[in-house]
Structure 1
Amino acid sequence: MPYPSKFLSIPSPGRAPVPAPHPTATPRPSTVPSAPPVPHEDPNRVPFARGLAAYGDRVALITPTGQLSYRELAERVAATAERLGPVRRLVLLAGANQADALITYLAALSAGHPALLVPGDNESTLRSLTEAYSPDVVARPDARGTWTLDERHPESAHVLHPDLALLLSTSGSTGSPKLVRLSHENVQANAESIAAYLDITDTDRAATTLPMHYCYGLSVLHSHLLRGAGLILTERSVSEAAFWEEFRAGRGTSLAGVPYTFDLLDRVGFERMELPHLRRVTQAGGRLAPQRVARYAELGRSSGWQLFVMYGQTEATARMAYLPPHLAAERPEAVGVPIPGGSFRLRPVDGHGPDTGELVYSGPNVMLGYAESPADLALGRTVEELRTGDIARRAPDGLYEIVGRRSRFAKILGLRIDPQRVESLLEQRGVTAYCAGDGEALAVAALGETGDQARIRRLVAQECGLPPRAVRVRVLARLPRLATGKPDYEAVRRLTRPADEEAPCPGQDLRRLYAEILDHADVTEDSSFVGLGGDSLCYVEMSLRLEEALGHLPADWHRRTIRELRAVAAPATEGTQGAADGEGGREPRRAPPPPGLRRTLRAWTSPESWRTRRTLETGIALRAIGIVLIVGSHIQLFEIKGFAHVLICAAGYNFARFQLTDAVRRERVRHMWRGIARIAVPSMAWITGAVLLTDFYDPANAVLLNSLLSPGNDRFDRAYWFVEALVHFLVVLAALMAVPLLDRLERRYAFGVPLALTAIGLVGRYDLLDLAPARPHLSPTVVFWLFTLGWAAARAGTVRQRALLTAVPLLTVPGLFQDQPLRTGIVIVGLGLLIWVPVLPSLRPLNALAGVLASSSLYIYLTHYQVYPYLQEDFPLTALFASLLVGIGYSTVVTRVTRRVRWL
């Protein structure tokens, strides 16, 4: 760079005193004008950004740390504008729903500095646009999270047109250098128009549910700041309970979402939420199915809020049309009428009638034009009206309807195909899909089961008049979307291509790893372990292999997408062992083989491996150590008991992590039953063989009902109590979670529900109902509280909650095993580790060994009763190793069979 960098910290609410909540938080009638009283005589400024102080002590921002009034916001904006200086410079801003980012953005608008907004969470996009446009100032947080202004040029290195105010990308987070050039008039006019038709007042408060760098999310900020309304700044997803706590505490009145947001709202039970201050819900960013529009419109009508369906493009600053809420239920297929100040016309298109054509928009919010290089920043207006590329018709009632997308038309084998019409056709047949042209084939990604693929291909081929070979279909568990929630059509093309045609792409080997271990053919960058149905049986292998591939894993890796995992792991792998996905010009690393015996032996005999420090999840360590001590104690090599009860708690911990996902109730319950089958079927198969070939077991053992139907004989009457208890717990909980009310309660009170069940389970712990047999500590009714305690431990998010859980075993475990203080102590310590210590220090060879033992622990437990009795007397140590090896072998067989039987 031609000038040395100069870093200036940004005035931040995180370092300045945060004011107490305003005492007059109750909404009151608006007494302020519709826009700040700022003159428009300076065309190089955005008026609403300059007029913030006009709203005085009204609440402007509600952040996780407190509130800012408009007066305080204006002071901080002015201070930052002063630091940006009087000379216009190009400011690249890492967008984030945080006070510092918003203050810097408003400072640029108010002082006339053109702002280039980029995704703050995408380092590659930020880097590529910095290289492409060489901004004069880069505003972003440093490594400590403190926002700074990196002044790269004291004066602008570019010629900046006087009208230029804002640069936005139309390509999501791909880092494309093609940007939309927006003027000060564009920004102000669109904000005024949106505020007018939404009737935003100074009593409104909107949550930032969408990214700041996305034109829709940005328009929410603009329109509310224009009217002196409040903004609830949050980076949480609507799928998180904490978001709704913030929304209620902030007295939220407005909620904005793209179609994917509404998918999440359905999952979290939005229709049953109590949101007393909610006034409006807005939807844009893609087409929402008409039936869902009608459903949400009726929901709003009965709940006291209005649904606004809107239509827009970045090239129009944000918005071009809206559907009046009173028409949403009756005309859900329409995009509505032009926004105030705008107008439409239909440009004739070959093959369409007189009332249908390309939708062309005119208005003061139409962009100046595009920029593809820094030289384009000097250009003035190059576009007078916006050709949207959408094919529309004007209905007799005056409402506009989008019927297709001109740029998406594909010519396949000489036929002109409209992918959007194909999507609508499939939607009418109950299939949700994304379609895109790809050369001489139509690519279709659809939600469904593997068996639906042929049916969808036939349906599309018949309706489009294409031969089946020209239709490529891939059924997925989740359709690919961009960061904005819009369909990712490039991913649709890539995912539907044959394996030998697919171009290498970042993370491809990680997707193969997920596909191999979870036996899924529909793994995408947005897939997660939990989302693909992963459970505790394959969790160990996946976590160890991912750690090998990425270097380190975050604690919640099982819920993160592959894309997020690569982003988190990139700093740890860059420059050392190479990125796991082959970025940086290195050859992609091949994923390591599964943790089997051969690999474990190599790990133990490799000197380098002992110098490689690792961490090991506490749950995995407990399973590995526990199964060795359980088998060894049964063989009487030593007398260290208690780990079976620790593993009951660990099972509850894993139940919360892998079974209670964010999926809709039906899918979640189906996942639970599949998990039960993966435990019960191999167990029943093995025990049935033991019943038939030996005299030690009652037939009730084979169906896992011995504790209910038969006392059995003296020696092995309760041999499989652990498996029985686990299956019984899971069956009962799956049945309970199938009840809509209980499902909603669990989602809303994620920690409270298992805590309440633990309290109920203590009734069984002390056998107050006299249900336990002769050995009560082996009864499902007695140990149920341990399972729910593990469930609660997985949900505990604060020190207070963990301390409460720690008190439970300290008070209730003593006396469970009568005069066995060592056993009591082991259980208390094991539960304490699970509650407080997520990972333990380890070494690579120890991880490999623990991985084998932990992933095979259930099968070792099942099989060791048929192994060690034959070796126990003369060769006790051999009996231990033989029991472990047979269990590992059975685990391998079950895993291979399971991957061929889809319902398991």
Structure 2
Amino acid sequence: MQPFWDTEGRAPQSPAFILEDSVVTYAALTEKIGQWCERLAAIAQGRRPLVALEIELDADSIAAYLACLKSGFPVLVAETGTFEPDARLTTIWTPDIIVRGRGDGVKAVLQFDGEATPPSRGEMHADLRLLLSTSGSTGDPKLVRLSGENIVSNADSIAEYLGITASDRAMSTLPLFYSYGLSVLHSYLQVGAAMVLTERSVLDPGFWDLFGKTGATSMALVPHQFDLLERTGFKDMDLPSLRYVTQAGGKLAPTSVRRFAEMARSGGWQLVIMYGQTEASPRISYVPPESLDEAHDTIGRAVPGGRMWLRDEHGTVIEGHGVAGELVYAGPNVMMGYGVEPGDLARGPEHTELSTGDIAERTQDGFYRIVGRLKRFVKLYGMRVSLDQIETLLSDEGVEGYACAVDDHLVVLHVSGQDAFIRRTIADEYELPESAVRSHAIAEVPLMPSGKTDRKVLQQWAAEAMAADEETESGSIGEVIARVTRSAEIQPGDTFASLGGDSLGYLHVEMALEERLGHVPQDWENQPIATLEQMTPKSRSRFVRPVGVDVLLRVAAISMVVAVHSGLHAFFGGPWMLLVLMGYLMARFQLNLLGQGRIGTFVVKMLYPIVPIYFGMIVLVNIAMADVPLAYFGLWANYFRAEGRNPAELYWYVSAYVQIIALIGVAFAFPALRTWAMANKWGIAAIVMVVTLAIQAGLVLSPLHSPEGLILWPAPHPDSHGLMACIPVFCFGWMLRVTTTRAQVRANLVLGLVTLLVFAQFRMSILATVYLGATFVLLAWNPTVQLPNIVATTFQKAATVTLFVYLFHVLVIYVLSKVFDDPLPLAVAAIPLSFVLAYVIKAVFDYFDNIAAALLLRGNRSARPTTGALESV
């Protein structure tokens, strides 16, 4: 068989790697490999060196890797930043040559100190080609030794059962230091196919643009990426070139397998479930796509050239089906052996079969189903982590800890009382978010009569601790985000925006970030949770900290609403400021949900809890104060003119709000329109704004606009309340958030001025137009304001309860009006008391709402959509 690193025989002009702005042909790749062979040979000076490669998703890095294989130089592959001088892998394995990236993407070759081969290593075995960490990370110095036959035979097997041809193109969805990601590279190069190299996540719209542009035919995913796919609207995507999607790196829930298998049938592609270990180069088995219906909970059958069987604790082969035993695999891809110390690199092949450490049973169809684990490891986000290695790591730090796996979660029990230190140490070592490590103190270590640690009791305690965790709230950034977005599960790659976070939850997370980090990172809502949790706290000022202008505007706008309803009409204009903020914040937080086609979730999020509380309030007003017109119950109050004063009159804004949400939901329910709108976020808002603004201008200048300030169509209503008046303001806020070009800035200036001119024609205070214009300017500028810490905290907390201020301030005004006759003292008293009442009511609401959510989650195992209604308030 021709090894994949010998690229000379491939079609020279066929693409090997496709990048966003260029293509590397096989001819170019062959030339790069040759250049690297020469560079490595020059540095090796006639010796056979051990090369350490920090591999990246770029053609030069891959060419360096292939040159090592071609030259017969054993190569230790790991991720960027691994081989620092004092790093564990560097000090233990003492590589002769280190290849790493520079800022410009060009690889640099560095010679390790010393010219002679380290005496502890000796001559490395002739068959040795590749060294990979057993965990798929840099944390464990134990290596898997792989020969050229191991990796080439597995590449052939994968290409055979997937039917890969030279015309296929795989998206690079996994890092190459991970054996699964590396196997994609191997199998595609083996048949002369191409890889599309990108660092983009499947959550990034640019990933799918590149997918379509390059005609990609496959993706290789781990389980948590399937969760991400469901948030991207993948089900409704038109991907005519897609042939198959593979899954490995941990168990995908059977329900997810069935769901994606159905998507595959509908979309004309195939889902291939696979199983493997780094020790098998790495693929061991696969589930034929045609068998997924009956084998969705299995790992399938052995790859071509391999075989699997079961054996019991005595080593006896288990025949028949339905009997559990350890899964064993044999094939030419089984590793040479492990490497624990440098001298191991001189050892030859030591294994003809691989004991996987997994407990499985054979089905009647001859497939294998994993039912448990024999060895002590846990898979976290597709990475296998040794529990023994974790305990050794903690012991080295002076901590006696016991690591347990509970349903693919890591739980560490300890008697040290150092929860934070343990989480941080493990997270740093394995590059995990701290929320992936659950740490619990125990009073004493359980012992067996023999004096040995009772692992069964520890496992039971870990399971109980895990169950207790699920019933309580915790304080990591990931858990705060999960709580405010009502997400039952989160992944390290999730962001606040991708989870559908809203403007109220945003403020809660900002305060949590400020508390933990001492600052609020720029654009944090679009940064992965793993990134946020790994950020280093900075010292913050003892006196001041920044607050976003949107927070200040929100508090100002709702305070103006209270002031006007207290009788200070000079502050008229708050509702339209809230409409601008509504559009601005919806574009900031809700575009992910809309783009994914999750319309039901969007609508529920935006209308809960405002609508149920609103109906409760108007019923209360109807009972205690005055008869409420039917229009307020039917949510068309913005198209209604009340006869005389009515306490419910201030709620016209809720009708306009609900109508806008409904229109957005309907528009984005159409896939074609949704796709276009997501590609033209500013354009869709600009078009809607121009059309509605033109209609409103026409109405204002026509006989349908009465001297009393009413628009007579479609029903008599205040000229500033109808949708044709509200939608342009909402759209302008949206446009301000998504503006990216100078042309859009100039267009914003023109449209903003036209909007203000139209509003100046309404029968409302000219000050309202001034306030609206000021809001336009401040949001376009979007400064942060340095405020004293206590003032900043007050504004942030006040902004989290503006929804409740809007809904309940009528009660405060109703009571205080019996004490104050003059509007000024009434407003001065009503504004702070409205915030106090809102804070109390929100606390009570959250308490009972969380109880209801917990009961619902316990019953359905799925969380209710996020509380996120009234984005502008």
Letter in 2 for 1:616: V
Which residue of the other structure, out of 355, 365, 369, is the alignment partner of 1:387?
355
Give me the TM-score of the superposition, normalised by structure 2: 0.73
Letter in 1 for 2:242: L
**SS in structure 1 opposite 2:759?**
coil
What is the CA–CA distance in structure 1 between the aligned matches of 2:114 and 2:85, rounded to whole Å? 24
Q: Name the residue aligned to 2:189.
A: 225
Is contact 2:580–2:729 with CA below 8 Å preserved after alignment?
yes
What is the CA–CA distance in structure 2 between the aligned matches of 1:697 and 1:766, rounded to whole Å? 31
Is contact 1:139–1:150 with CA below 8 Å preserved after alignment?
yes
1:856 and 2:856 aligned: no
Shift of 1:189: 2.4
**SS in structure 1 opposite 2:181?**
helix
1:371 and 2:339 aligned: yes
Shift of 1:404: 2.6
Deviation sequence 1:302-344 (CA, Å, 0-9, x none): 6554443333221111212334445455655554443333333
From the superposition, tell whether residues 776 and 60 of structure 1 become closer, same or farther in structure 2 (CA, over 3 Å).
same
Q: Name the residue aligned to 1:252.
A: 216
What is the CA–CA distance in structure 1 between the aligned matches of 2:621 and 2:58, rounded to whole Å? 62
Aligned counterparts, 1:662-741, within 5 A: 662=593, 669-670=600-601, 672-686=603-617, 689=620, 692-694=623-625, 705-708=636-639, 711-713=642-644, 718-731=649-662, 733=664
What is the CA–CA distance in structure 2 between the aligned matches of 1:520 and 1:274, rounded to whole Å? 28
> With CA pairs under 8 Å and 6+ residues apart, which has the higher RCO, 1 or 2?
2
**SS in structure 2 opposite 1:815?**
helix
Shift of 1:897: 2.1
Deviation sequence 1:171-195 (CA, Å, 0-9, x none): 3547233332222332222223322
Higher deviation after alignment, 537-546 or 262-271: 262-271
Higher deviation after alignment, 633-642 or 654-663: 633-642
Is contact 2:548–2:783 with CA below 8 Å preserved after alignment?
yes
Letter in 1 for 2:524: W
Is contact 2:136–2:179 with CA below 8 Å preserved after alignment?
no
Which residue of the other structure, out of 531, 542, 566, is the alignment partner of 2:509?
542
Aligned counterparts, 1:158-307, within 5 A: 159=121, 161-162=124-125, 163-173=127-137, 175-288=139-252, 300=264, 303-307=267-271
What is the CA–CA distance in structure 1 between the aligned matches of 2:351 and 2:666, rounded to whole Å? 60
Q: Name the residue aligned to 1:25.
A: none
Deviation sequence 1:267-296 (CA, Å, 0-9, x none): 434344322322333333344456765665
From the superposition, tell whether residues 899 and 115 of structure 1 become closer, same or farther in structure 2 (CA, over 3 Å).
farther
1:888 and 2:836 aligned: yes
What is the CA–CA distance in structure 1 between the aligned matches of 2:173 and 2:355, rounded to whole Å? 29
Q: Name the residue aligned to 1:655.
A: 586
Letter in 1 for 2:333: N
Q: Name the residue aligned to 1:40.
A: none
1:343 and 2:307 aligned: yes
Is contact 2:493–2:528 with CA below 8 Å preserved after alignment?
yes
**SS in structure 1 opposite 2:660?**
helix
Deviation sequence 1:22-58 (CA, Å, 0-9, x none): xxxxxxxxxxxx84xxxxxxxxxxx433435854232
Which residue of the other structure, out of 826, 834, 847, is the alignment partner of 2:792?
847
Q: Name the residue aligned to 1:27.
A: none
1:49 and 2:9 aligned: no
1:355 and 2:342 aligned: no
Which residue of the other structure, out of 603, 609, 613, is the alignment partner of 2:542?
609
What is the CA–CA distance in structure 2 between the aligned matches of 1:441 and 1:176, rounded to whole Å? 17
Higher deviation after alignment, 62-71 or 227-236: 62-71
**SS in structure 1 opposite 2:139?**
coil
Aligned counterparts, 1:62-81, within 5 A: 62-81=18-37
**SS in structure 2 opposite 1:777?**
coil
Shift of 1:214: 1.8
Shift of 1:535: 3.0
Is contact 1:618–1:837 with CA below 8 Å preserved after alignment?
yes
**SS in structure 2 opposite 1:65?**
coil
Deviation sequence 1:215-273 (CA, Å, 0-9, x none): 11111111112222221111222233221110111111222223333344444343443
1:622 and 2:553 aligned: yes
Is contact 1:696–1:713 with CA below 8 Å preserved after alignment?
no
What is the CA–CA distance in structure 1 between the aligned matches of 2:374 and 2:689, rounded to whole Å? 58
Deviation sequence 1:609-635 (CA, Å, 0-9, x none): 33x4x4433422321343445555666
What is the CA–CA distance in structure 2 between the aligned matches of 1:443 and 1:863, rounded to whole Å? 46
**SS in structure 1 opposite 2:720?**
helix
**SS in structure 1 opposite 2:239?**
coil
Deviation sequence 1:189-215 (CA, Å, 0-9, x none): 222332233332322211112222221
From the superposition, tell whether residues 285 and 764 of structure 1 become closer, same or farther in structure 2 (CA, over 3 Å).
farther
Letter in 1 for 2:351: V
Higher deviation after alignment, 615-624 or 225-234: 615-624
Is contact 2:558–2:802 with CA below 8 Å preserved after alignment?
yes
Give me the TM-score of the superposition, normalised by structure 1: 0.71
Higher deviation after alignment, 844-853 or 710-719: 710-719
Is contact 2:56–2:175 with CA below 8 Å preserved after alignment?
yes
Which residue of the other structure, out of 552, 555, 570, is the alignment partner of 2:519?
552
From the superposition, tell whether residues 179 and 299 of structure 1 become closer, same or farther in structure 2 (CA, over 3 Å).
same
**SS in structure 2 opposite 1:720?**
helix
**SS in structure 2 opposite 1:168?**
strand
Shift of 1:552: 3.4
What is the CA–CA distance in structure 1 between the aligned matches of 2:84 and 2:582, rounded to whole Å? 40
Q: Name the residue aligned to 1:790.
A: 733
Which residue of the other structure, out of 767, 775, 780, is the alignment partner of 1:830?
775
**SS in structure 1 opposite 2:308?**
strand
Letter in 2 for 1:355: G
Q: Name the residue aligned to 1:817.
A: 760
Shift of 1:672: 3.7
What is the CA–CA distance in structure 1 between the aligned matches of 2:749 and 2:97, rounded to whole Å? 51
**SS in structure 2 opposite 1:311?**
strand
Aligned counterparts, 1:487-566, within 5 A: 496-498=463-465, 509-510=476-477, 513=480, 529=496, 534-558=501-525, 560-566=527-533
What is the CA–CA distance in structure 2 between the aligned matches of 1:81 and 1:364, rounded to whole Å? 27
What is the CA–CA distance in structure 1 between the aligned matches of 2:276 and 2:738, rounded to whole Å? 40
Shift of 1:566: 1.7
What is the CA–CA distance in structure 2 between the aligned matches of 1:128 and 1:892, rounded to whole Å? 53
From the superposition, tell whether residues 236 and 126 of structure 1 become closer, same or farther in structure 2 (CA, over 3 Å).
farther
Q: Name the residue aligned to 1:449.
A: none
Higher deviation after alignment, 867-876 or 891-900: 867-876
Consecutive unaligned residues of structure 1, counting only runs of 5 or more, are 1-33, 36-46, 411-437, 447-481, 578-607
From the superposition, tell whether residues 200 and 824 of structure 1 become closer, same or farther in structure 2 (CA, over 3 Å).
same
**SS in structure 1 opposite 2:5?**
helix
Is contact 1:859–1:888 with CA below 8 Å preserved after alignment?
no
What is the CA–CA distance in structure 2 between the aligned matches of 1:544 and 1:484, rounded to whole Å? 23
Letter in 2 for 1:644: P
Is contact 2:621–2:647 with CA below 8 Å preserved after alignment?
no
From the superposition, tell whether residues 826 and 227 of structure 1 become closer, same or farther in structure 2 (CA, over 3 Å).
farther
Is contact 1:656–1:795 with CA below 8 Å preserved after alignment?
yes
Letter in 2 for 1:724: S
Higher deviation after alignment, 554-563 or 616-625: 554-563
**SS in structure 1 opposite 2:76?**
strand
1:59 and 2:59 aligned: no
Shift of 1:783: 0.3
What is the CA–CA distance in structure 2 between the aligned matches of 1:249 and 1:373, rounded to whole Å? 47
Letter in 2 for 1:726: Y
What is the CA–CA distance in structure 1 between the aligned matches of 2:651 and 2:468, rounded to whole Å? 50
What is the CA–CA distance in structure 2 between the aligned matches of 1:353 and 1:396, rounded to whole Å? 14
What is the CA–CA distance in structure 1 between the aligned matches of 2:583 and 2:669, rounded to whole Å? 18
What is the CA–CA distance in structure 1 between the aligned matches of 2:747 and 2:476, rounded to whole Å? 43
Which residue of the other structure, out of 712, 718, 730, is the alignment partner of 1:775?
718
**SS in structure 1 opposite 2:17?**
strand
Is contact 1:757–1:788 with CA below 8 Å preserved after alignment?
yes
Letter in 1 for 2:329: Y
